């Protein structure tokens, strides 16, 4: 076998390895919906005559997106009072009679070899008028992306809130491969589709966190048999080890400007919070206390951080200025409050809370200090806010298996994301995609 | 022996200072800390006494060099098969391989969300401390673990604290700092896979791993 053949063979194998986990699709099940979700009808997108049938059912994707937010109740197609192909065909009275106030119509037009123009209109059946209408160019390969974009536009128009349907999530799944447990770091669309493996190892992986620009992921790998922090570029797959070897390096958190990492580091058996400047590699100690200080997370303005400390005997949340100083205790309810994430509007913090009935996901108002439990699992952990603050993704166990779940920030809508094989944990909701 | 006593003495002073600092921070656990200090001081005294009076061939091969500098063999491989033969040709089991030796116990268990070594583990730690102090070229790895309750990152820190607690007690007996490697796996590598107190109790542990076993799981 020549060198080139070997190289080709290795390349082919790599492709195969990357392609396989994509089969493992996360499926969303709404387990508890909100009363009074807005009824909406998303009609099947019409195909222009002669257009090659697209690989995706755009209307179904849009309906699923809107349903997952918990704010909408998409009506099943067999309950539609009519099947209009254009706005001119719509009999608004028929839709109003069924209590359906919002209607989405769409069509696909072939504009080039393998290219489409995806057009849609959002109609208000009460006033009988169009609320928004767009034409978006797409290739066959990115129809799902376009469908999520349509969901974002509809969501924003109807709720005033930016949709998070075009965002991605990262998580760690464990899969058995030839009798061995394999830890797989994956990223996927927020709905679990297009899962891609970005790193896998025989040793545990944890704490994946997105860079603010969504281009890199920082995570902890035990591949050298001790926790080591890596930053990986998603597109190229290149990765670098940061924060050199010591007894313990973990819990990385990206600063909002992307320039620094907060992390937990133990020099001599005393886990403290440090800040690593990524350009200069300067490491500054932020906390110094003979107790566990870990799980730092930045406030969106980058001025202060929230972290977990057991300095009073049990883990509780504290807030400290990014310049150091005396931390201020935030949580008092329950004997275990840890692993915080801050809402994008800086108003709330979500964390793992144990008030005596198991480890639940809770939210606390940073202004009033008021705490609400959002979930009822026994071992819920790893809460991560959606970039629009509407939902919180977390890890839970269901029938003894680790899986991801999401809850609306008001606790009303609950859903599970099921991976068909393996276990899933350590979710991290990525940032909004950068507008080109 | 003189050197070992000196090292043990120095560690004692270091540890004593450390505990004094701890007293202020861990006011709730001060009683336990003092209790442990006394227990360990007693064990150390006994250890040093027994080291000083023990006679006869070492249980490990001696090729004519200074006893204390001969590293004990690992627990596996060709080398081990000959390790039981001393200069006199009498068979002696390497205490690391002897299932009846106190060194056969390699697990130290902890209470929930605690890094305090429990009284019933002191004898085991003492046996390892004694052995390691006697063979300063033998290295050991302390692997700290936690049960699945609580957050993964906090448990990683907790596992490290637990390994640190065992390390301090070993050093108090004269084991050198660079003989000990500490690592925490948090809740990532449980010993028991159940989701109940029985499994959790087995998972809140520090594993004492000797030299040649490094890297294995």
- For A340, the closest chain B residue by CA position comes to B151
- Give the closest residue to B157 by CA, choosing from A185, A206, A135: A206
- For B195, the closest chain A residue by CA position comes to A400
CB spacing of B183 vs A290 below 8 angstroms: no
State which of A287-291, A314-318, B12-16 shows the largest mean pLDDT.
A314-318
**Residue A244, pLDDT score:** 65
> What does the buried/exposed string (b/e) look like for A369-399 if buried means 16 or more CB atoms within 10 Å of the residue's CB?
eebebbbebebbbbbbbbbbbbbbbbbbbee
CB spacing of B21 vs A290 below 8 angstroms: yes
Whether A165 shows a pLDDT value over 60: the answer reads yes
With an 8 Å Cβ cutoff, the interface of chain B facing chain A consists of 21-22, 25-26, 28, 113, 148-154, 156-158, 160-161, 164, 167-168, 182-185, 188-189, 195, 215
In angstroms, the CA B75 to CA B97 distance is 6
**How many Å lie between the alpha carbon of B153 and the closest alpha carbon of chain A?**
6
Residues of chain A positioned with their CB less than 8 A from the CB of B21: 290
Option in B154, B188, B215 nearest A295 (CB): B154
**Residue A5, pLDDT score:** 52
- For B182, the closest chain A residue by CA position comes to A247
Compute φ and ψ for A239, nearest 5 degrees: -140, 150
Q: Of A130-144, A203-217, A298-312, B69-83, which gets the smallest average pLDDT?
A: B69-83
CB spacing of B152 vs A247 below 8 angstroms: no
- For A307, the closest chain B residue by CA position comes to B154
A400 touches chain B (CB under 8 A): yes
CB spacing of A269 vs B161 below 8 angstroms: yes
**How many Å lie between the alpha carbon of B182 and the closest alpha carbon of chain A?**
7
**How many Å lie between the alpha carbon of A167 and the closest alpha carbon of chain B?**
25
Residues of chain B positioned with their CB less than 8 A from the CB of A313: 28
**Residue A373, pLDDT score:** 96
A200 touches chain B (CB under 8 A): no
Report the percentage of chain A scoring pLDDT > 70. Answer: 90
A179 touches chain B (CB under 8 A): no
Which ranges of chain B have pLDDT less than 50?
Answer: 1-90, 213-217
- Give the closest residue to A125 by CA, choosing from A164, A75, A165: A75
**Residue A383, pLDDT score:** 98
CB spacing of B167 vs A315 below 8 angstroms: no
**And the tokens for B29?**
């656990």
Option in A204, A206, A248 nearest B160 (CB): A248
Tens-digit pLDDT profile for residues B70-129: 344 443 333 333 344 444 444 556 788 888 888 999 999 999 999 999 999 999 999 999
- Best residue of B19, B144, B153, B167 to probe chain A, by most A CBs closer than 10 Å: B153
Tens-digit pLDDT profile for residues A329-376: 999 999 999 999 999 999 999 999 999 999 999 999 999 999 999 999
pLDDT band per the 50, 70, 90 thresholds, residue A400: confident
DSSP state of B137: T
Phi-psi region of A389 (alpha: psi -120 to 50; beta: other; left: phi over 0): left
Option in A204, A264, A359 nearest B153 (CB): A264
**Residue A422, pLDDT score:** 79
Option in B154, B168, B195 nearest A339 (CB): B154
Residues of chain A positioned with their CB less than 8 A from the CB of B167: 269
Distances (CA, A) of B24 to A327, B20, B146: 18, 7, 26
Compute φ and ψ for B133, nearest 5 degrees: -65, -30
- The mean pLDDT value for A106-134 works out to 92
A247 touches chain B (CB under 8 A): yes
In angstroms, the CA B129 to CA B135 distance is 10
Report the percentage of chain A scoring pLDDT > 90. Answer: 72
Higher pLDDT, A353 or A399: A353
pLDDT band per the 50, 70, 90 thresholds, residue A419: low
DSSP state of A421: S
CB spacing of B149 vs A379 below 8 angstroms: yes
Option in A248, A311, A382 nearest B184 (CB): A248
- Give the closest residue to A44 by CA, choosing from A69, A66, A77, A22: A77
Higher pLDDT, A130 or A415: A130
CB spacing of B160 vs A271 below 8 angstroms: yes
pLDDT band per the 50, 70, 90 thresholds, residue A176: confident
Residues of chain B positioned with their CB less than 8 A from the CB of A207: 152-153
Residues of chain B positioned with their CB less than 8 A from the CB of A226: 183
**Residue B106, pLDDT score:** 95
- The mean pLDDT value for A305-328 works out to 97
Residues of chain B positioned with their CB less than 8 A from the CB of A426: 152
Tens-digit pLDDT profile for residues A198-213: 999 999 999 999 999 9
Tens-digit pLDDT profile for residues A30-65: 666 666 789 999 999 998 887 778 888 999 999 999
Higher pLDDT, A345 or A175: A345
A50 touches chain B (CB under 8 A): no
**Residue B30, pLDDT score:** 41
Residues of chain A positioned with their CB less than 8 A from the CB of B195: 379, 397, 400
Q: Are residues A251 and A294 in contact, defined by beta-carbon separation less than 8 angstroms?
A: yes
* Beta bridge pairs of residue A145: none
**Residue A26, pLDDT score:** 57
| SS3 label, residue A24 | coil
CB spacing of B157 vs A352 below 8 angstroms: no
**Residue B92, pLDDT score:** 58
**How many Å lie between the alpha carbon of B161 and the closest alpha carbon of chain A?**
6
Q: Are residues A392 and A409 in contact, defined by beta-carbon separation less than 8 angstroms?
A: yes
In angstroms, the CA A383 to CA A385 distance is 7
CB spacing of B215 vs A339 below 8 angstroms: no
**Residue A21, pLDDT score:** 39
Whether A411 shows a pLDDT value over 70: the answer reads yes
**And the tokens for A74?**
């998409």
């Amino acid at each position: 076998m020549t060198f080139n053949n070997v190289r080709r063979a290795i390349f082919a194998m790599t492709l195969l390895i990357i392609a396989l986990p994509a089969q493992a699709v996360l499926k969303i099940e709404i387990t508890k919906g909100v009363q009074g979700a807005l009824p909406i009808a998303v009609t099947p997108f019409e195909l222009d005559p002669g257009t090659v049938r697209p690989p995706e059912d755009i209307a179904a994707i849009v309906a699923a997106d809107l349903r997952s937010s918990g704010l909408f109740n998409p009506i099943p197609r067999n309950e539609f009072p009519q099947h209009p192909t254009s706005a001119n065909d719509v009999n608004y009275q028929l839709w109003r009679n069924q209590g359906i106030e919002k209607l989405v119509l769409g069509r696909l037009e072939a504009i080039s070899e393998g290219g489409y123009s995806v057009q849609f209109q959002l109609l208000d059946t009460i006033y009988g008028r169009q609320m928004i209408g767009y034409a978006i160019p797409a290739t066959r390969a990115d129809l799902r992306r376009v469908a999520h974009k349509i969901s974002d536009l509809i969501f924003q128009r109807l709720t005033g809130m930016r949709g998070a349907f075009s965002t991605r999530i990262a998580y760690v799944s464990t899969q058995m491969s030839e009798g061995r447990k394999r830890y797989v770091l994956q990223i996927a669309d927020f709905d679990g589709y297009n899962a891609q493996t970005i790193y896998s190892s025989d040793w545990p992986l944890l704490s994946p966190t997105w860079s603010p620009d969504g281009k890199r992921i920082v995570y902890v790998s035990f591949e050298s048999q001790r926790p080591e922090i890596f930053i990986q570029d998603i597109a190229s797959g290149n990765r670098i080890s940061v924060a050199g070897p010591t007894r313990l390096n973990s819990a990385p958190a990206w600063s909002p400007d992307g320039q620094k990492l907060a992390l937990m580091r133990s020099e001599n058996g005393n886990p403290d919070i440090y800040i690593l400047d990524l350009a200069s590699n300067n490491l500054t100690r932020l906390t110094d206390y003979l107790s566990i200080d870990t799980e730092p997370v930045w406030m969106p303005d980058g001025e202060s951080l929230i972290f977990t400390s057991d300095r009073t005997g049990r883990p509780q949340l504290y807030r400290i200025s990014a310049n150091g100083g005396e931390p201020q205790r935030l949580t008092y309810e329950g004997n275990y409050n840890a692993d915080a994430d801050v809402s994008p509007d800086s108003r709330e913090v979500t964390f793992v809370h144990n008030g005596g009935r198991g480890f639940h996901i809770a939210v606390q108002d940073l202004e009033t200090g008021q705490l609400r439990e959002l979930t009822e699992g026994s071992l819920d952990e790893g809460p991560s806010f959606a970039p629009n603050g509407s939902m919180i993704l977390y890890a839970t166990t269901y029938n003894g298996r680790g899986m991801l779940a999401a809850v609306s920030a008001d606790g009303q809508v609950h859903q599970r994301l099921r991976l068909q094989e393996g276990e899933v944990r350590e979710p991290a909701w990525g940032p909004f995609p950068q507008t080109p | 022996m003189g050197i070992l006593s000196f090292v043990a003495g120095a560690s004692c002073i270091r540890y004593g200072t450390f505990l004094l600092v701890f007293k202020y921070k861990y006011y709730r656990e001060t009683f336990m800390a003092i209790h442990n200090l006394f227990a360990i001081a007693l064990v150390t005294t006994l250890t040093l006494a027994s080291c000083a009076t023990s006679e006869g061939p070492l249980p490990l091969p001696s090729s004519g060099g200074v006893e204390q500098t001969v590293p004990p063999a690992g627990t596996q491989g060709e080398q081990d098969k000959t390790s039981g033969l001393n200069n006199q040709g009498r068979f002696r089991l390497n205490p690391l391989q002897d299932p009846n030796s106190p060194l056969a116990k390699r697990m130290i268990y902890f209470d929930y969300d605690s890094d305090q070594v429990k009284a019933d583990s002191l004898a085991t730690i003492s046996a390892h401390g004694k052995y390691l102090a006697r063979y300063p070229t033998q290295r050991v790895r302390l692997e700290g673990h936690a049960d699945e309750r609580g957050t993964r990152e906090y448990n990683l820190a907790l596992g490290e604290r637990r390994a640190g607690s065992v390390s301090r007690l070993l050093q108090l007996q004269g084991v050198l700092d660079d003989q000990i490697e500490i690592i925490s796996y948090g809740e990532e590598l449980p010993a028991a896979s159940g989701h109940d107190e029985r499994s959790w109790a087995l998972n809140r542990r520090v594993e004492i791993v000797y030299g040649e076993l490094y890297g294995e799981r």
